Amino acid sequence: MALVPSPCRIASLTTTVPTEAEAQGLARGLVEARLAACVQVEPGLQSHYRWQGRVQADGEVRLTVKTLPAARAAVEAFITRYHPYELPQLLWQELEASSAYGAWVAENVDAAALSAPPAGGPPPSA
């Protein structure tokens, strides 16, 4: 198990996509690329927003990505490449985790993947 300083800091990113299939593809791609230890997919959201001067409302699916703070740039590059929106929501938080959970996150995010460019082709679909 990787060594993680106490208290353990992890990073959490939330983003939304229009369909569950797109959410599943991004989630699987991030975990398979070892950029995230876990991605939670929450369908059933309704978002109200202003876009290009018009108020809109659409169904969305939220993804919550658990990773390391050092993975931020690599995760953003991956999401920017594969996200279906022109302007994706990318909201980051640094969180304090239990030492056991922090160690698990560190063990499942590959340090070599953090400096690699996103893999070619789209992320796998669900």
State percent of the chain over pLDDT 90.
80
Asked if residue 111 has pLDDT above 80, the reply is no
- Domain assignment present for residue 117? The answer is no
Domain that holds residue 71: 9-99
The pLDDT value given to residue 126: 44
- Domain assignment present for residue 29? The answer is yes
- Domain assignment present for residue 77? The answer is yes
Angstrom distances, CA of residue 15 to CA of 6, 37, 53, 73, 80: 28, 16, 22, 15, 11
Tens-digit pLDDT profile for residues 32-83 = 999 999 999 999 999 999 999 999 999 999 999 999 999 999 999 999 999 9
Please state the domain count of the chain.
Answer: 1
Rounded to two decimals, what is the model's pTM?
A: 0.84
Residue 60 sits in a domain whose CATH number is 3.30.70.120
- Domain assignment present for residue 115? The answer is no
